[in-house]
């Protein structure tokens, strides 16, 4: 997520169509969005792994987490793919003078506003948000010692992926850095407890 939000060109935040289309045409537009797709796919993967590894009573929460993460990650990919590749090709077409800027921007608005695409994307992000919070709760119930809190920073940030799209560029970059720090903190906690120490197995 930090790579996506740090490398992503933010020219599309400009009111100038030429600046926005130039941002779409940059190779970094594709690279950054592929990194964003990988980040959200990783959230889905963590959710599924959580459903496989968390023992005891917390496993019920973890199973819901796994389903939400798997379905959510799948639902966001079509919109992200179009954002990454279709807008890039529109930007390149304008740069090559094969397409007029006003025509390109009309297509950009149509692509971004497609009802099915937006609906799938929003539903996927909401399911990923649920997966992040459920994963943090399952970790809290299954972990032991002073590391029971470790999943909540990342779980909370996953839940905030949807509203962060409305932040200014500096806010989005900061969000990406916080996301990376939270992910590393949780990974460190998981390493500390498994496999050498292991998760606490709850009764039942």
Model pLDDT for residues 39-65, shown as the tens digit of each residue: 999 999 999 888 777 766 678 888 899
Are 156 and 186 a contacting pair, CB within 8 Å? no
- Structural domain range at position 45: 2-193
Whether residue 200 has pLDDT greater than 80: no
Residue 203 has pLDDT above 50, yes or no: no
Return the HEC string of the chain: CHHHHHHCCCHHHCCCHHHHHHHHHCHHHHHHHHHHHHHHHHHHHHHHHHHHHCCCCHHHHHHHHHHHHHHHHHHHHHHHHHHHHHHHHHHHHHHCCCCCHHHHHHHHHHHHCCHHHHHHHHHHHHHHHHHHHHHHHHHHHHCCHHHCCCHHHHHHHHHCHHHHCCCCHHHHHHHHHHHHHHHHHHHHHHHHHCCCCCCCCCCC
* Residue 200 forms part of a structural domain: no
* Predicted confidence (pLDDT) per residue in 158-195, tens digit: 999 999 999 999 999 999 999 999 999 999 988 887 65
Q: Across all residues in the chain, what is the average pLDDT?
A: 91
* Residue 198 within any structural domain of the chain: no
Higher pLDDT, 199 or 116: 116
pLDDT at 74 over 70: yes
Q: Establish if 202 belongs to a structural domain.
A: no
Q: Is residue 199 one of the residues assigned to a domain?
A: no
Can you give the pLDDT at residue 125? 98
Instruction: Enumerate residues 6+ apart whose C-beta is below 8 A from 82.
Output: 111, 117
What is the C-alpha separation between 163 and 161, in angstroms, rounded?
6
202 has a pLDDT exceeding 80:
no
- Is there a domain that residue 204 lies in? no
**Least confident interval from 6-10, 120-124, 141-145:** 141-145
Number of domains in the chain: 1
Q: Report the pLDDT value the prediction gives residue 115, as an integer from 0 to 100.
A: 97
Q: What is the pLDDT of residues 29-43, one digit of tens each?
A: 999 999 999 999 999
Confirm whether 26 is domain-assigned: yes
Q: What is the structure's pLDDT at 204?
A: 37
Residue 80 belongs to a domain: yes
Q: What values do phi and psi take at 6, rounded to 5?
A: -85, -35
Tell me, yes or no, whether 177 lies in a domain.
yes
The whole-number pLDDT of residue 111 equals 96
């Amino acid at each position: 997520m930090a790579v996506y939000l740090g490398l992503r060109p933010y020219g599309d935040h400009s009111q100038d169509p030429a600046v926005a289309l130039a941002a779409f045409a940059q190779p970094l537009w594709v690279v950054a969005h592929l990194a964003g797709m990988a980040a959200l796919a990783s959230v889905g993967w963590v959710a599924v792994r959580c459903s496989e590894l968390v023992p005891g009573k917390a496993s019920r929460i973890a199973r819901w987490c796994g389903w939400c993460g798997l379905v959510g990650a799948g639902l966001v990919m079509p919109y992200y793919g179009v954002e990454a590749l279709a807008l890039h090709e529109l930007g390149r077409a304008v740069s090559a003078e094969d397409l007029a800027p006003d025509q390109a921007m009309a297509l950009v608005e149509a692509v971004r506003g497609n009802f099915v695409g937006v609906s799938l994307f929003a539903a996927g992000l909401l399911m990923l948000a649920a997966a992040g919070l459920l994963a943090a709760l399952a970790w809290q119930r299954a972990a032991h010692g002073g590391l029971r809190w470790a999943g909540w920073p990342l779980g909370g940030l996953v839940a905030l992926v949807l509203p962060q799209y409305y932040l200014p560029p500096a806010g989005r970059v900061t969000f990406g850095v916080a996301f990376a720090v939270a992910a590393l903190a949780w990974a460190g906690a998981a390493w500390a407890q498994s496999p050498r120490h292991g998760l606490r197995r709850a009764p039942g």
